Amino acid sequence: MQRIALNTPYLIFVGDETRVTYAKTGRGIVDWRREHCAGQLRLSGEACDLGLPDMSVAEASSAGVGSLVVGTALVGGSIPPPWVATLAEAARAGIDIVAGLHTQLASIPELAAAAAAGGARLVDVRTPPPDLPVGTGKKRPGKRLLTVGTDCALGKKYTALQLEQDLRAAGAKADFRASGQTGIMIAGEGVPIDCVVADFISGAAEVLSPDNEPDHWDVIEGQGGIFHPGYAAVSHGLLIGSQPDAFVVCHAAGREQVEGWPHMPLPGIGDVIERTLQIGALTNPGIRCVGISVNTSTLPEGERREYLARLGKRYGLPAVDPLFTGAAAILDNL
């Protein structure tokens, strides 16, 4: 597994990104590691506001910021050229640059020169560990729960983090297993599944969740969606290699099309349950769905519980929003 140690506190770089979906890395760090965040750097007033103090590079340097974390995750995983000058300014000031993108930071000449001049580190979180094996399909001891989704960017990571927290609070042995860049930044370790060579995805999932005690739960962060036109391959490999005993389907209330693919209708929760059972049975015939987790942030507060109750009744499963109701009902079903 990849392990990282980042210098705190963080300056979360939002750039000029206005879409909340694509600022999910910054939002995730703020929501789960706010104590490490000193401020945010936005290049325009319309950019996403993560609720942190706005800071310039000079102000961040004076405040002792250790790392500028690129808080966006654009389709394709690149850095827009207009952002490079600001990142280079921070690197020349001695602030580490941290990113979870497919573009390697050191491959940008201006940024590499600035880091060398300022003595800053360029930390690429989206770098898989070497020598990953091909998946074996052999059942491993320990228990595993995987979060799966009707789409990307709708709560798989948040659900997994909340379930780990609730399991531990209930006295169970549990660990969050990060499979994406934001999760790795939060947990300090993991495997960035979406940049593993295809032949080794299921093997990487086996490495991510190794042998454990019979009563120990690994709560594995899901990626993509098994119906996603762009990312389904990653989701399939992670599902097969994770060998989950249980899975939770994650959904965003009100979303009807795949985010970023408006011509693709979103699959139904029931379709995701059925397909996940079919695929997951390849390596764990005992796989079962134990709940539904919904991001209800788009709903009026007074409608959330009624919406979840209707959903739970329809599918015969506990339906929760981990940020508003917690995940205790799913634990009861485990």
CA 13 to each of CA 86, 88, 183: distance values in angstroms, whole numbers, following the listed order: 9, 12, 17
Report, as ranges of residue numbers, the positions in the chain whose pLDDT lies below 50. Answer: none
Which residue has tokens 């379709």? 271
Instruction: Read off the DSSP letter of residue 54.
Output: B
Amino acid at 309: A
194 Cβ contact partners less than 8 Å away, ≥ 6 residues apart: 126, 180, 223, 224, 231, 234
Q: State pTM to two decimals.
A: 0.93
Pairing of strands 189-190, 2-3: antiparallel
Summarised one tens digit per residue, pLDDT across range 27-45 is 999 999 999 999 999 999 9
Residue-range domains of the chain with CATH: 2-124 (3.40.50.720), 143-333 (3.40.50.300)
Q: How far from each other are the two terminal CA atoms of the chain, in whole angstroms?
A: 27
CA 16 to each of CA 85, 231, 261: distance values in angstroms, whole numbers, following the listed order: 13, 25, 21
pLDDT at 20: 84
